[in-house]
Amino acid sequence: TPTSSRRPRETIDAPSAGRARAPAAPTPVPTPAPAAPDKLVATTNTGESWEIVDAETYIGRSKQCAIVLKSQRVSRKHASITHDPDGFHINDLGAANGIWAGTERIERELIEDGSEYIIGDVLMTFTYG
């Protein structure tokens, strides 16, 4: 008798209608972004301190500013702190002596906890409280 060189067919089970399906992986719940802080504390190198909670706070030599810095190197209206949805930002208002973060002059920056800026010649530290 001749021998067949064919291999036997593999049988593949078709999914049956009654077979239970594996449960789908649960949809991950997005983690909400941390809320922006609602209070910032500004402290100078001379120990003066201010709590900032408003949408916009001005820093300068003028008595019209919420934060008055008594230095001739600080402009009348030198900087502003704005409270935006993502946190507090420091903004240079075109002051001659600017705002410095280390050796970098900045125009606008998101304030991180513990950030230090030189405004005119006054060192200010900002912390969230």
Write the DSSP assignment of 64-126 as a string of letters.
Answer: TSSEE---TTS-TT-EEEEEETTEEEEEE-S-TT-EEETTEEESEEEPPTTEEEEETTEEEEE
Specify the pLDDT at position 35: 64
Question: Could you tell me the domains of the chain?
Answer: 40-128 (2.60.200.20)
Cα(46)–Cα(106) distance, rounded to whole angstroms?
Answer: 23
Length of the chain: 129
> pTM for the full model?
0.72
Q: CA-based diameter of the chain, in Å?
A: 113
Mean pLDDT within 64-87: 97
Specify the pLDDT at position 107: 98
Greater confidence (85 vs 31) lies with 85
